[in-house]
């Protein structure tokens, strides 16, 4: 299913719009009243945004409590990455597909993306952000041209583009810094 997210904020509603010719229905998403800079965008059901003061809180939420990082953690690594991948494999309805960070080195504000299942093995695009302009977390941080690093957890291959609508330079997979540090305006997962 191809989906375009437009005008995402964590406190206000966001719109999920199915692209022409794809399966799916338009759905309203609800945001949390949280004020944290670590958010989870759940693309299942009602496409809810929940934000937390800590990255560990966001990951616990994204994995349904299966992964409990140490309080000061800023990324999923080591045995916790193994736990997350095991939780994804066992999850009946929610899989963490990756995390975006506003700083290089997997630091700063974060968005962890979850969906009902991992991406399929087809080469088609499963989910997209066509324009990050106006995408803000609960703390008010604007994500357009601010992503500095990203990590994938499952079989979804993300491609990050310099401009909206998948134009300009691109980088895929896990990355940190480099030419697209603070330059990403659209993302496609396949």
DSSP of 126-185, one letter per residue? -EEES--TT-B-TT--B-TTT--EEEE-SS--EEEEEEGGGEEEEEESSEESSTTTTT--
pLDDT tens for 134-162 read 787 777 888 889 999 999 998 888 999 99
Residue with tokens 């941080």: 141
> Rounded to the nearest 10 degrees, how much is the dihedral formed by the CA atoms of 180, 173, 38, 57?
-160
Q: pLDDT value at position 113? A: 92
What's the pLDDT score for residue 8?
A: 36
Distances in Å between the alpha carbon of 19 and those of 22, 24, 76, 108, 187? 6, 9, 32, 32, 15
Quick: pLDDT tens for 73-114: 999 999 999 999 999 888 777 899 999 999 999 999 999 999
d(CA 186, CA 168): 10
167: number of Cβ within 10 Å: 11
Cα dihedral 153, 129, 147, 37 in deg (nearest 10): -80
Check if the beta carbon of residue 154 is closer than 8 Å to that of residue 88.
Answer: yes
Q: Are 115 and 109 in contact (CB under 8 A)?
A: no
Q: What is the pLDDT of residue 162?
A: 96
What is the band of 35 on the pLDDT scale with cuts at 50, 70, 90? low
**Dist CA 96 CA 74 (whole Å):** 16
CA 3 to chain centre: 13
pLDDT (0 to 100) of residue 34: 53
In this predicted structure, which of 41-45, 83-87, 143-147, 169-173 has the lowest mean pLDDT?
41-45
pTM: 0.79
Q: Is 65 left (phi over 0), alpha (psi -120 to 50) or beta?
A: left
pLDDT band for position 30 (50/70/90)? very low
Looking at every residue in the chain, the average pLDDT score rounds to 79
């Amino acid at each position: 299913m191809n989906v375009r997210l437009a005008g995402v904020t964590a406190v206000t509603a966001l719109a999920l719009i199915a692209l022409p010719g794809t399966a799916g229905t338009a759905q309203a998403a609800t945001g949390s009243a949280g004020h944290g800079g670590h958010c989870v965008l759940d693309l299942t059901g009602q496409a809810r945004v929940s934000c937390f003061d800590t990255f560990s809180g966001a990951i616990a939420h994204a994995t349904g409590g299966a992964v409990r990082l140490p309080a000061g953690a800023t990324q999923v690594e080591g045995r916790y990455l193994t736990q997350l991948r095991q939780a994804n494999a066992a999850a009946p309805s929610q899989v963490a597909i990756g995390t975006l960070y506003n700083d290089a080195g997997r630091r700063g504000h974060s968005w962890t993306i979850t969906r009902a299942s991992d991406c399929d093995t087809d080469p088609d695009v499963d989910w997209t952000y066509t324009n990050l302009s106006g995408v803000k977390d609960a703390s008010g941080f604007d994500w357009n041209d601010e992503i500095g690093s990203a990590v994938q957890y499952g079989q979804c291959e993300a491609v990050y583009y310099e401009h909206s609508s998948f134009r300009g330079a691109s980088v895929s997979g896990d990355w940190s810094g480099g030419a697209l540090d603070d330059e990403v305006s659209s993302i496609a997962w396949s």
